[in-house]
Chains A and B, each alone.
Chain A
Amino acid sequence: MKPAAFEYHAPTTIDETVALLAEHAPNDGRILAGGQSLVPTMAFRLARPTHLIDINNVADLDKLVIEDGALCIGATVRHAQFHTPACDGVLGRLLTDVVSNIAHYPIRQRGTFCGSVAHSDPASEWCMVTAILDATMVAQSASGERLIPAAEFFETVMTTTLNEDELLREVRIPVLSDDTVYGFQEFNRRAGDFAISMTLVTYRLEGGKIVDPHVGVGGAEDRPRRIAEAEAALAGQAPGDDAFRAAADAAAAALDPMEDHATNAQYRRDLTATLVRRALENAAS
């Protein structure tokens, strides 16, 4: 239960960080941010990185500001920084509602938003939020910057399209308009546990009809994603029981759920349908 030996690097600039990453990534060198997932994995010796590049002392990675219509979240911004709204308006409130579901209070003091996204646990709330709100990932390597849409970022369990020499420097979430409504629902067996399923929905109303619906599911499949079938069931409909049940059923039918010893696919589908319906009811209320 003790991590294996590694070389420790503590760069203070982004340039230095990506240079170290370029040098050591081919030998399983890794970024260390909050460490709340990486260090337990190392304690189990499931991960044995030979080099850790600690970014906690890197200047300019702690930004949390609105720029060009998006909330920009730097690589060392902690979960706890969302305990109160990080920005005005609907997006700030949404992130604050979601954050209390992430692990526990002391974990949220160290763990980082970008670390969680780069780790790509299917049960990660932030991964789901970025996928459903069409965030953009900013990947930085020694050779430059690359923008990756969330829809092209999550590949499968703990696997993303980030290259091994790239630092997830920043995540940009588009600001939500003031008339956007949202609902979030998560189910797990104990507070702070990994989600068995969770959902985030957003939409706006124009002339009493739903427009721009986003319906997404996390925790149930190998990665979080928007469910086009559920969104189609909502678009142009009046909010209410009929539309919400149709969307919930469409989401459940579209899923390819993960299974484990306690949870079969049908259970996850039924659960997800209930969560989507409740999230839509929350959004409407």
Chain B
Amino acid sequence: MSDKKDITLSINGRDHKVSVDPRWTLADVIRDHCGQTGTHLGCEHGICGACTILVDDTPVRSCLMFGVQADGKKIRTVEGLANGNEYHPLQKAFMENHALQCGYCTPGFLMLATGILEAQPDISDDDLNDVLSSNLCRCTGYANIIKAVRAARDEMKAAS
């Protein structure tokens, strides 16, 4: 068996010192060894997008990175979205637009949308559709997810 490596993951501004087996995916390290279970795992092979998180502010699939590769990187997960008791505009928009039902895909959609709205605050509806096509939802349906992200985009732009 391979040797464990000591790494530090910065998750939502808090450092987690963990000893990882190189074969552990970043998603598994975040969930099982840092206790941050908001990030969900669906397919575990990069298709569904449920495990999408931000690494250095860029949306990536945490099942397709190894934890050891994230040593020292800035990780943001769904637990870091709200500001204290104040929901993030995307979280509010998801509630107001019925953009979640079972909620399993929601953390992935929220982090994907956070990443794209921070990078491109003026993104067009068409380009947003294209980005949101990255992730799968099997119960809510996409119309309300798209509606919610558009609403959050407009609100975040108005507030900035």
Residues of A at under 8 Å CB distance from B?
A: 1-8, 10, 35-36, 39-40, 43-44, 52, 54, 56, 100, 104-107, 109-110, 191-192
- Residue in B5, B21, B61, B133 whose Cβ sees the most chain A Cβ within 10 Å: B61
Q: How far is the CB of B63 from chain A (nearest CB, A)?
A: 7
Check B68 for interface membership: any CB of A closer than 8 A. yes
Q: How far is the CB of B20 from chain A (nearest CB, A)?
A: 9
Of residues 51 through 79 on chain B, the ones whose CB sits less than 8 Å from some CB of chain A are: 52, 58-61, 63-66, 68-69
Given contacts A8-B2, A39-B66, A109-B59, 15 further A-B contacts (CB under 8 A): A2-B24, A5-B2, A6-B23, A39-B25, A39-B46, A39-B65, A43-B44, A43-B45, A56-B69, A100-B130, A105-B112, A107-B46, A110-B61, A110-B65, A191-B133
- Residue in B5, B47, B52 whose Cβ sees the most chain A Cβ within 10 Å: B47
CA distance A36 to B60 in the complex (A): 10
Interface size, B (range): 20 to 34
Of residues 9 through 61 on chain B, the ones whose CB sits less than 8 Å from some CB of chain A are: 21-25, 28, 44-47, 49, 52, 58-61
Q: How far is the CB of B9 from chain A (nearest CB, A)?
A: 16
Q: How far is the CB of B159 from chain A (nearest CB, A)?
A: 24
Check B116 for interface membership: any CB of A closer than 8 A. yes
CA distance A250 to B87 in the complex (A): 59
Q: In the complex, what residues of A have CB within 8 A of residue B69's CB?
A: 54, 56
CA distance A7 to B4 in the complex (A): 9
Of residues 96 through 136 on chain B, the ones whose CB sits less than 8 Å from some CB of chain A are: 112, 115-116, 130-131, 133-134
